[in-house]
Each structure stands twice: as C-alpha cells, then as structure tokens.
Structure 1
Amino acid sequence: MPANSTVDRAAIVSAARRMLERDGVAGLRMRRLAVELGSKPMTLYYHVANKSELLSLVLTDIATEIEWATPTGSPRERMVEIVMDMHRQLSCISWIVPILRTGTTVGTPALALADRFLAAALETGMTELRALSLWRSTWYLATSELMWQAELATRPDDERSWFEKIDPAAIAESAPTVAGMLPRWPQHSAAFDLRAAITAQIDGTIANSALDP
C-alpha cells in the first residue's frame, strides 16, 4: 500500500503528541489519531508498526528538546545529579507515567543520561556490571517515585492509603514490625527523600565495589 502523501511519520508523531498532552495515554488510539490527521488507520500503520512504536517515537521527539543538566563535581556527585535531573525533567511530562509502566523507553536521545552516569560510575573504579546495575536500580527508584507521585495527585481526597485501612491488631502476629510502625507510617512516608535514597544507593555501590578483587 503506498504512503499517503499528506501524512508522514513527522506529522503522525506531532499529532500523537498533541493528543497525549490533551487526552493522556488512554485517549491515544490509532483510529482517533487517523481522524485527527484526516486520514485512515491503515495509512498510519504504513509509517508506524503499532502504538508502542509510536509512543517511543513521541518520547524520542520530546527527549531531543529537553535541556538535560550537565553535572559537575566528583563522579559520585555527578551520578546523583543525573538521576535527580532525570526525575525533575520527566515529572514535567504529565502523561509519562502510564508509558513508563508499559516499559516503553524514553527515547534514544535520553541515552546521553545513561552515558554520563555510566562514565561517572566507571571513574570510581567499579566494574561495568556494577555500573549498569546501579544505573538500572537508580532509574527504577526515580521512575517508581514518579508513579507514586502521579497516583497521589489523582487520588480522590477522601480515599485513604493502604496503611490507613489496616488495623494494626489484625496483623500484629503475622507482621509485628509493620503493625508497630503503622501509626507512624504516614509521617515516614511523607518524609521520604528521593535524593537521600539515590545517594545511599550510589554510596553503597561505590563502597561495595572497593571490596572487589
């Protein structure tokens, strides 16, 4: 089937981005996108294989526009700032969380972040395996926090968190430590510090890598 001369990949990505910003991920459907472009779904599939590929293309397009910070300082300080900058930048994209849940990548331009992080990690003397494992663990922590923040933002005011729904006495025998902490769980949860958690991960890995033979 020949490509529609009035619709190309760039136009599809641009329209998909508008729909995501307006309707969120749930509102992005290939049929609706075709209507948005005044085209037909089969024409879109000539340019993009499926919705997953389209989301990757949109994120790649966005990643080229983000002005990622260029961290300075020690390798440890640079790694912390790279992850925190990633968290800040992605938190500005309101519809990013559902995409992260699908495992879709944030676009090849964002590989510059991984490159800077890995380079800093290797400067500390850790192995490539440790460096990559550290990048993955800090990435998962930062994106999980994005998901948690998004959930809180959309939760009805009268809906309680899981730890507010449990009677400590009901789990006193099976989970005594959790039961004892439940009354203070809201304060501990609110006091969570992502930077401190990321720093602890990085410091722990650096310390452990020093013990490698």
Structure 2
Amino acid sequence: MSERGSIDRDRIVAAARAILETRGIDSLSMRALAVALDSKPMTIYHYVSGKPELLTLVLTQVAEEIDWTPPTGAPRHRMVEVVMDMFARLSDIPWIVPILSQGIAVGTPALILADRFLSAALEDGCDEQTALSLWRSASWIAQTELIFRASVARRASDETSWHQRLNADDLDDMPVVQSLLPRWGQHSADYDLRAAITWLIDGAPRANSPTTPSAD
C-alpha cells in the first residue's frame, strides 16, 4: 500500500470522478477509492471527511469546467433560460444527475445558476419563498427529465413502455386514461420541457399580481 504522502486531494478527487463517470454513484465508497489509489480508507479520510464532501469536490471541479450561458432578456425569460441551460449542459454529463437527485452535494460554481434564477424571480416580483420554490421545482423537473431520458436510452430495443403493456379493457374505471392510452406514447414523445418550465414560472404568484376577490 502507498504511504499517505504519495496521494493528495487532487488525486483523490480525480479517482473519485473516474469511478463516478464509469461506474456511478453506488460504486463510490472510501474502500473502492482506496483500492483505486492503492491506499487505505483511513488515509483518504485524512483529506476528505466523507462521501458528501468528496461528491461536493467532484461536482465543484466539474462545474468549474462548464461555461454557463448568461441569460438575457426579461426576468421570466431569463429564468427559463437558466433552467434550459442547466438541462443542456447536464445532458452531456448524465452521471451527475443521480448525485444531484440525492440532495447531499452540489458544486459551488453551479450555484451561479441558482443565483441568476433567483435574481430574475425577485426582479419579477416573487418573494423569497416563491423564488426558491420555483427554482427547486423547475430544476427538479429538468433533472427528472434527464433521468427519464437516460432510462429510455438504456432500454433494450425490444422492451416496451408501461403504457404499451396495458390492456384498455382493464381501465373502465379510469375513462380518461383509457381514452388517452392509444396516444400516450406520442404525447410523451412530444413533451416540451421548455413549455412546462414556462407554465410553471408564469403561474407563480407575484407581489403585483391581482388578488382573488374574497368569497365574502
């Protein structure tokens, strides 16, 4: 086994990233990392406190390499563009999405996306709670779509979708689903992420929005 002095944080992060890129988050552990570095788990703990910190270091490194596109235009347009830019960039590095979905690590440079989105939301009249709720919802929709598309890409060529395996005769107590079933696949294929994010953002309350008259 190598001595502690032969490794450093940079080598640890590089080895962790290699594991994540090739084998995924479930394969990353201090023991697996020690094997990759020909070291011992306790040696690695001298440089990082645990898996959450390690994931943050990897995500920070990756985020620093991304040239995020600064959004322009009206506030609501900028909010949509921030989410779509995130979606486009993460589409090229799909191994990151399962890490983000766990909610235990985020690369600090990537917070520029949150900052730009929240700034536009506040400028558009959202309060802090609404702005943060919008960012959380919009970013999760985008990440979920990435996970879905990745699962479809991994699907065997002869594997059918769930809606293709259903028998419409078994859905008599679900008339709307029953009627949509023959067109479900096409509607799914036509899903428009940009439109969905736009609807979400446009529907959020603003300080200058007209209030609903009281029933009294």
TM-score, normalisation: structure 2: 0.90
Among all aligned residue pairs of Structure 1 and Structure 2, give the percentage whose two residues are the same amino acid: 54
- Alignment partner, residue 46 of structure 2: 46
Residues 140, 94 of structure 1: alpha-carbon distance in 2 compared, 3 angstrom cutoff:
closer
Residue matched to 1:131: 131
1:24 partner letter: G
Does the 8 Å contact 1:126/1:210 carry over to 2? no
Superposed displacement of residue 31, structure 1 = 2.0
1:53-93 C-alpha deviation (Å, 9 max, x unpaired):
31222111111111110111111111111000001111111
Corresponding position of 2:194: 195
What CA deviation, in whole Å up to 9, does each residue of 1:24-66 have, x standing for no partner? 3333332232122121111112222322331222111111111
Summarize the alignment of residues 13-24 of structure 1 with structure 2, pairs less than 5 Å apart: 13-24=13-24
Instruction: Tell me, yes or no, if the aligned pair for 1:163 and 1:185 is still in contact at 8 Å.
Output: yes
Name the TM-score, length of structure 1 as normaliser. Answer: 0.91
Of 107-116 and 24-33, deviating more is 24-33
Partner of 1:4: 4
State whether structure 2 residue 43 is matched by structure 1 residue 34: no
| Superposed counterparts of 1:157-176, under 5 Å | 157-173=157-173, 175-176=174-175
1:84-99 correspondence runs (5 A): 84-99=84-99
Judged with a 3 Å threshold, the aligned counterparts in structure 2 of structure 1 residues 206 and 8 are, in CA distance, closer, same or farther, namely same
Q: Secondary structure at the match of 1:95?
A: helix
Taking the aligned partners of 1:71 and 1:161, their CA distance within structure 2 comes to 36
- AA matched with 1:127: D
CA contact (8 A) 1:56 1:107 kept: yes
CA contact (8 A) 2:114 2:135 kept: yes
Range moving further from structure 2, 98-107 or 189-198: 98-107
| Residue 209 of structure 2 is aligned to residue 210 of structure 1 | yes
The alignment partner of 2:94 has SS state of coil
One-letter code aligned to 2:86: M
Letter in 1 for 2:153: A
C-alpha root-mean-square deviation of aligned residues, in Å? 2.0
Q: How far, CA to CA, are the matches of 2:207 and 2:157 in structure 1?
A: 43
Matched pairs, number: 210
The 10-residue stretch of structure 1 (3-12 or 81-90) with the greater mean CA deviation from structure 2: 3-12
Question: How far off is 1:101 after superposition?
Answer: 3.3
Verify the 8 A CA contact 2:19 2:28 in the aligned structure 1.
yes
Q: Name the amino acid aligned to 1:210.
A: S
Structure 1 CA distance, aligned partners of 2:116 and 2:41? 40
Mark the runs of 5 or more structure 1 residues left unpaired by the alignment.
none
Question: Does structure 1 retain, via aligned residues, the 8 Å contact 2:125–2:206?
Answer: no
Equivalent position SS for 1:105: coil
For the 8 Å contact 1:130–1:209, the answer to whether it is kept is: no
* Offset, 1:209: 6.0
